[in-house]
A and B are shown apart, each in its own frame.
Chain A
Amino acid sequence: MHREDKRHEMIQVTQENRSGWTVVSVSGRADASAADDLETALCSAIEGNSKIAADFAGVTYISSAGLRSVVQAARAAQVHKAEFVVCAASPMVLKVFNMSGMQNIVRIEEQLPC
């Protein structure tokens, strides 16, 4: 029940602009300890930009708390009328997205749009 061994793998988030898109690259574990930071990073990118791609290629694990961060980022995008897409997630993360029906709420793509 405890995952102390993995919790040292902190999430890392970087942001850059490419071909009209703001790309937020996320790597590490998107779990409860990282969820607030992830949501803040995604939402702040969404507030200041109109096209945001979350690059999930480096996400090694996503928990329910991580999923909620992505859903709330999608909510912020809806409020700000911004385009928000989650890209390049690993098969393991995609499996979690599919089980929770994330594709019904958030646009999920195999590759970055830029």
Chain B
Amino acid sequence: MLSMLEEVVLLTIDDRNGKLRATREFGTAYALVGALFFDLVLAGRIDTDTEEIYVIDQPKQPPESDGNLSLDRVLAHMKQHPELKTVRDWIEEIYIERGDLEGETLQSLIDRGILRHENSKLLWIINVERFPLVSNEPQQHVNLRLAHAILSDEIPPTRDIMLVSIANACGLLGYVLSDSALETRKTRIQWLSQMETISRKVTEAILELEQIARTALPQ
């Protein structure tokens, strides 16, 4: 099974040409941070309430079993900084400390045989980096789960609620469903996105940065 982080990165790949899709400003970076925290939740390593985040000291799964360097690194960082308490503090902290989270996750998808890496030149000068899908199946599986979670009236599994909420926060749903479908299901998307504290705080962080960026631009 792919991690939430891998699923979100897979959503950012254009299936027609392997290029990374543009999302909302700051969207992808924050979405990756949110996905990383959801992976920690799914691994039983952290819990949240409406504001704060908690490291679970005695998870049911032993720490060694995660096998995910990004998660282990973030968890170690969290344990070193008990002064940071809120979900929002930690989203900002890991946003700053994220390093090449996207590159690491792309590499993981290449290692799994889902993507391949291509470098080419545009007009013999400009480097163009692409990540074509080796098979469309994993991305289609993610797309189908998102579409089903949004278009049906069924209560989705936990993982799919998380996926909708994070894809919505960073503006990736437009690559999965048409504008009219998204408009029709707007209320349901809002319900699903509101359910998870991590996504609510990711959305807040993106909106705040967008606001700062707008204010900073000359009128």
Contact = CB atoms under 8 A, between A and B. Distances in A.
A1 B154 contact: no
B50 interface: yes
Contact of A1 (B53, B60, B156, B194): B53
B55 A71 contact: no
B194 A63 contact: no
Nearest to A31: B47
Contacts of A4: 57
Interface residues of A, number: 28
Given A1-B52, A63-B47, A101-B191, A75 B197 contact: no
Contact of B154 (A31, A33, A62, A75): A75
A92 B163 CA distance: 28
B53 A75 contact: no
B155 A2 contact: no
A36 B47 CA distance: 13
Contacts, number: 73
A19 interface: no
B158 interface: yes
B155 A78 contact: yes
B56 A101 contact: no
A33 B195 CA distance: 20
Contact of A32 (B47, B78, B161): B47
A74 B153 CA distance: 13
A64 B157 contact: no
Given A1-B55, A71-B158, A99-B50, A64 B78 contact: no
Contacts of B53: 1
B155 A64 contact: no
A72 interface: yes
Contacts of B158: 68, 71-72
Interface in A27-47: 31-33, 36
A74 to B, nearest CB: 6
Interface of A: 1-4, 31-33, 36, 61-65, 67-68, 71-72, 74-75, 78, 95-96, 99-102, 104-105
6 contacts: A2-B57, A32-B56, A65-B41, A72-B158, A99-B50, A100-B197
- 6 smallest CB-CB distances across A and B, nearest first, come from A32-B47, A75-B155, A101-B194, A104-B191, A64-B48, A63-B47
